[in-house]
Amino acid sequence: MSKTRARKIKLLLFDVDGVMTDGKLWFLPLPTLAEPAARLRSGQAPGGPPAASRIEAKGFHAHDGTAISLARLGALKTGLITRRTSETVALRARDLRLDYAYQGVMVKIGVFEEILSKEKITAAEVAYMGDDVIDLPIMRRCGFAIAVANARQEVKQEAHWVTPHAGGDGAVRDAVEYILKAQGSWDAAVKQYLERGDAPAGG
């Protein structure tokens, strides 16, 4: 049944935290140029904790980067939809040349419907990868719902397929490989990849 669903897929969408990453969030303080003034305004004594912005860092798996290149060679479009907003994710999306990258999305199903309209495809032609309950509305609507190995139990129960690897450990690669093999385009995509490459920042 899952392979039958996978054969129809033209677009693979995924969450970020817990899917492209292992779900851990790293917040690194970044002191600002206006540190002294900010301290005075906040009533902090000199030498106290500096006013700072922060960088949200995430770790991505090289196998997933290669997978995006293979997906492109296999005529499979890709994109992400995430609730959080991070320049790290924006950079990764640009490096991998994702077709869609939506951040700061509180209600993901709305963006999903928007993408269907832009692509002029049906929900049955879209696969979505998730790990937590926020992903369930799209997973219930799409043609091929994929849960990562580290997904919450409620998500796994409603998925059509669960990846062998956890998020941040090659789960996106699992999904791309499964879909392209079901469509009979995996070998050709790998051959093209080996012949000319297609991954400026992939694997």
pLDDT digits 0-9 by tens, 9-37: 999 999 999 999 988 888 878 766 555 55
Q: What is the pLDDT of residues 57-83, one digit of tens each?
A: 788 899 999 999 999 999 999 999 999
Contact 62, 203 (CB under 8 A): yes
Any idea where the domains of the chain sit in the sequence?
Answer: 2-23+59-196, 26-56
Residues making up the chain, counted from first to last: 203
The CATH code for residues 2-23+59-196 is: 3.40.50.1000
Residue type for position 116: L
Question: Dihedral, CA atoms, 54, 102, 201, 57, nearest 10 degrees?
Answer: 20
Evaluated on CA atoms 136, 137, 141, 142, the torsion sign reads: negative
Q: What is the largest CA-CA distance in the chain?
A: 66
